[in-house]
C-alpha cells in the first residue's frame, strides 16, 4: 500500500466530486460500486479503479473515505454482511484510516470509533458543507473531528477536496457542529417557505420581497437561492433532498434530548419535513418545501 492510494465508498453527487478532486490532485482512486453507475463510470473514465468489496479496498488503501447519506448507511457498509471485519486486524495493528463525510449521529460516531479501533482502524468524523459543484472544484468546507493523533493525516487528505477546514476536538464533535449548522439552515428554509406562501396569499409579489430583502440585514446567500428557485426557475438551487433534511433534524433533536435539552421551534420544523417525507416528497430538493407551505 502507498499513501496516494485512496478508497472511496458512496459515489453520489458529492462522492463523485470528492473523487474527481482526489484524482485531479494525483491520487490513485479505488471506488466501490453501487446501483447508481453514473458517478462511478465517470470516475472510471478518468483512471479510477473499481473493486468488488471492502476487503479488497483495505488491501490496497490506507485511507478510505465514506460519502454516505447517514450514520445508518455508514454502520451498514462497515459492519454489515460484507463489512470491514473481513479485512481488519483484531488487536489494533492495522494502520488504516476511515474518513466519514456523512452528516451523522454523534452518538453513533463514537460507537463506530470503538468498533473500528477494536479492528485496528482509526476514524475521524469529517462532515462537509457546500454542494456538488464545490465538491468537483475541491472547494468544500470540512469540519474535522477525531483525536489529534489521527487528524494530522486526515487533514492532508481532506485538504485535497476542501477549501476550508474547521478543526474540532474529539470524535463526534464535528458531527455536532454540522447538525447545528444544518438545523439552522433548514429552519431558515422552513420559515422562508411560509413567508413566501404568505406573500402570495397577501398579493405581494415575491419579486417585491426579494428587492426589499437584498437591501436589508436579513439578506444572505441561502435566501437568495430560494428566490432564484421561486422566481428565476433555477431548479439547481439548494440541491439537497427533503428526506436528508428530515434525517438531519431527527439527529439534531435526538442529540438535544440526550443532553436534556428540548427543542420547540426545530421540533415544529422537523414535523413539517417528516410529514413531507411521509407524503412521498422526500426525493425532492429542499426549496420544494415552498410548495408544501402553499
Cell representation of residue 187? 429552519
Cα–Cα distance, 176 to 167 (Å, whole number): 12
68 vs 90 pLDDT, higher one: 68
Q: In this structure, are 180 and 162 located in the same domain?
A: no
Given a cut of 70, whether residue 85 has pLDDT beyond it is no
Q: Given 171, 195, 219, which residue is the final one in a domain?
A: 171
Q: What is the mean pLDDT of residues 12-41?
A: 93
C-alpha cell at 170: 474529539
Least confident of 126-130, 150-154, 190-194: 150-154
Query: 224, 196 in Cβ contact below 8 A?
Result: no
For residues 107 and 208, membership in a common domain is answered with no
What was the pLDDT predicted at 2? 47
Residues 263 and 280 in one domain: yes
What is the mean predicted confidence (pLDDT) over 78-97?
Answer: 66
Residues 183 and 37 in one domain: no
Query: Do 113 and 238 fall within a single domain?
Result: no
The pLDDT assigned to 182 comes to: 97
| Contact between 82 and 88 (Cβ < 8 Å) | no
Residues 259-294 pLDDT 10s:
999 999 999 999 999 999 999 999 999 999 999 988
Q: In the predicted model, is pLDDT for residue 132 greater than 60?
A: yes
Residues 22 and 156 in one domain: yes
**The domain containing residue 15 runs over which residues?**
5-171
262 by Cβ neighbours in 10 Å (0-12 / 13-18 / 19+) ranks as exposed
21 has pLDDT over 80: yes
Q: In Å, what is the CA distance from 41 to each residue of 25, 68, 95, 223, 268? A: 19, 18, 30, 35, 41
Distances (CA, A) of 23 to 144, 164, 207, 258: 21, 19, 43, 41
What is the average per-residue pLDDT within 219-245?
A: 91
Cα(33)–Cα(50) distance, integer angstroms:
7
* Among candidate residues 144, 171, 198, the one where a domain is terminated: 171
Percent of the chain clearing pLDDT 70 (strictly above): 95
Shared domain for 193 and 144, answered yes or no, is no
Strand, coil or helix: 126: coil
Question: Which domain CATH number covers 73?
Answer: 3.40.50.720
Same domain assignment for residues 155 and 191: no
pLDDT of amino acid 1: 38
User: What secondary structure does DSSP assign to 128-186, as a single string?
Assistant: EES-HHHHHTT-EEEEE-B-HHHHHHHHHHHTTTEEEEEE-SBTTHHHHHHHHHHHHHH
Could you tell me the pTM of the whole model?
A: 0.91
Do 99 and 229 belong together in one domain? no
Rounded to an integer, the average pLDDT of 170-182 is: 96
Q: Is there a single domain that holds both residue 158 and residue 225?
A: no
- In terms of Cα–Cα distance, which of 263, 266, 270 is closest to 245? 270
Collapsing DSSP to helix, strand or coil, 50 comes out as: strand
CA distance 81 to 135: 30
pLDDT at position 235: 82
User: Quick one: pLDDT at residue 88?
Assistant: 52
Of 20-34, 224-238, 247-261, 268-282, the least confident: 224-238
Predicted pLDDT at 91: 44
Are residues 180 and 108 part of one domain?
Answer: no
- Only one residue has cell 451498514, namely 76
pLDDT at 153 over 80: yes
Nearest to 63 by CA among 24, 21, 8, 118: 8
**Segment 86-96 mean pLDDT:** 56
Higher pLDDT, residue 139 or 237: 139
Single residue among 143, 171, 199 that ends a domain in this structure: 171
Q: What is the CATH number of the domain that holds 236?
A: 1.10.1040.10
Structurally, the chain folds into a number of domains equal to: 2
What does each C-alpha distance from 49 to 39, 105, 161 come to in angstroms?
13, 31, 19
| Residues 154/126, Cβ–Cβ less than 8 Å | yes
Amino acid at each position: 500500500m502507498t499513501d496516494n492510494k485512496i478508497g472511496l465508498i458512496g459515489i453520489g453527487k458529492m462522492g463523485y466530486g470528492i473523487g474527481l478532486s482526489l484524482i485531479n490532485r494525483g491520487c490513485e482512486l479505488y471506488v466501490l460500486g453501487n446501483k447508481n453507475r453514473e458517478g462511478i463510470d465517470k470516475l472510471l473514465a478518468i483512471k479510477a479503479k473499481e473493486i468488488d468489496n471492502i476487503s479488497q479496498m483495505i488491501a490496497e488503501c490506507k485511507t478510505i473515505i465514506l460519502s454516505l447519506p447517514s450514520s445508518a448507511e455508514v454502520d451498514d457498509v462497515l459492519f454489515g454482511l460484507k463489512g470491514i471485519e473481513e479485512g481488519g486486524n483484531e488487536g489494533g495493528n492495522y494502520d488504516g484510516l476511515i474518513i466519514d463525510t456523512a452528516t451523522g449521529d454523534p452518538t453513533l460516531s463514537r460507537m463506530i470509533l470503538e468498533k473500528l479501533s477494536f479492528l485496528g482502524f482509526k476514524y475521524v468524523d469529517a462532515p462537509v458543507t457546500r454542494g456538488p459543484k464545490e465538491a468537483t472544484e475541491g472547494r468544500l468546507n470540512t469540519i474535522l473531528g477525531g483525536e489529534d493523533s489521527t487528524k494530522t493525516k486526515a487533514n492532508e487528505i481532506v485538504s485535497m477536496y476542501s477549501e476550508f477546514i474547521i478543526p474540532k476536538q474529539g470524535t463526534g464533535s464535528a458531527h455536532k457542529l454540522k447538525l447545528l449548522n444544518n438545523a439552522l439552515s433548514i429552519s431558515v428554509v422552513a420559515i422562508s417557505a411560509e413567508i413566501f406562501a404568505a406573500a402570495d396569499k397577501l398579493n405581494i409579489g415575491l419579486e417585491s420581497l426579494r428587492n426589499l430583502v437584498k437591501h436589508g440585514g436579513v439578506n444572505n446567500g441561502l435566501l437568495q437561492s430560494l428566490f432564484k428557485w421561486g422566481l428565476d426557475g433555477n431548479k439547481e438551487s439548494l440541491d439537497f433532498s427533503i428526506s436528508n433534511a428530515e434525517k438531519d433534524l431527527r439527529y439534531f433533536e435526538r442529540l438535544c434530548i440526550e443532553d436534556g435539552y428540548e427543542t420547540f421551534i426545530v421540533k415544529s420544523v422537523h414535523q413539517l419535513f417528516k410529514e413531507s417525507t411521509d407524503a412521498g416528497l422526500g426525493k425532492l430538493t429542499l426549496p420544494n418545501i415552498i410548495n408544501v407551505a402553499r
